[in-house]
């Protein structure tokens, strides 16, 4: 019995069916997820946040190194929190650090307040979720952390935190 060999670099065009080991696609478009980094934790330690400036909430971070400068990154956070203090109107935000250059906001959320209260001592249990996509224009490592700001002095206890970054091909 003769065995015929086919040179696959010549004469084959079109789509290789999935049943034959192909993907079923003849080409790929932009917008594909290239890599995902995630860090999910439960019962983190509580942090005291002073008024007036954004401060890191805990030490939880997630890092991703884009494969191309044209890539976008979608970053999202989901947080269950307990906050206590006086005058505890507060906000949360995701900050980025590109190549060790220092943390900065991805989007300005200064005007968004999760909670606003009078000057009495109180506790609030809640959930915050946020997602944004941006273009870092780098192939250096990008690290993300959760930051908070408050109108008074507050203790924030992150009961659960899920921080995820996804590189999206251009």
Give the pLDDT of residue 19.
52
Contacts of 129 (CB under 8 A, 6+ apart): 76, 77, 78, 79
Q: Which residue has tokens 């005058």?
A: 87
Place of tokens 């999206």: 168
- β-strand 103-105 against 90-98: which pairing, if any? antiparallel
Whole-model pTM: value is: 0.75
**Given this model, what pLDDT does residue 90 score?**
77
pLDDT at residue 115, rounded to an integer: 56
Q: What angle do CA 26, 32, 35 make, to 5 degrees?
A: 130
Residue extents of the structural domains in the chain: 30-168
66: its two tokens = 């884009």
DSSP, collapsed to helix, strand or coil, labels residue 70 as: coil
Structure tokens at 137: 């224009």
Mean pLDDT per 10-residue section of the chain, whose length is 170 residues: 57 53 56 91 76 81 95 93 74 92 85 55 78 94 90 79 92
Between the alpha carbon of residue 72 and those of residues 11, 101, 151, 165, the distances in Å are: 37, 19, 33, 10
Q: Which CATH number fits domain 30-168: 2.60.120.760, 3.30.1490.120, 2.60.130.10, 3.30.390.10?
A: 2.60.120.760
């Amino acid at each position: 019995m003769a065995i015929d060999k086919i040179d696959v670099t010549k004469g084959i065009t079109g789509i290789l069916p999935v049943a034959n080991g192909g993907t079923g696609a003849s080409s790929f478009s932009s917008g594909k997820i290239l890599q995902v980094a995630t860090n999910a934790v439960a019962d983190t330690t509580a942090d005291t946040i002073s008024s007036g400036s954004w401060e890191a909430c805990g030490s939880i971070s997630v890092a991703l190194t884009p494969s191309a400068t044209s890539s976008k990154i979608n970053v999202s956070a989901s947080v269950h929190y307990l906050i206590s203090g006086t005058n505890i109107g507060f906000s949360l935000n995701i900050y980025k650090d590109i190549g060790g250059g220092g943390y900065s906001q991805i989007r300005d959320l200064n005007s968004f307040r999760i909670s606003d209260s009078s000057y009495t001592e109180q506790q609030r249990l809640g959930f915050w979720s946020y997602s944004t996509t941006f273009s870092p224009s780098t192939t250096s490592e990008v690290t993300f952390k959760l930051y908070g700001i408050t109108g008074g002095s507050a203790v924030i206890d992150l009961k659960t935190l899920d921080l995820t970054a996804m590189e999206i091909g251009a």
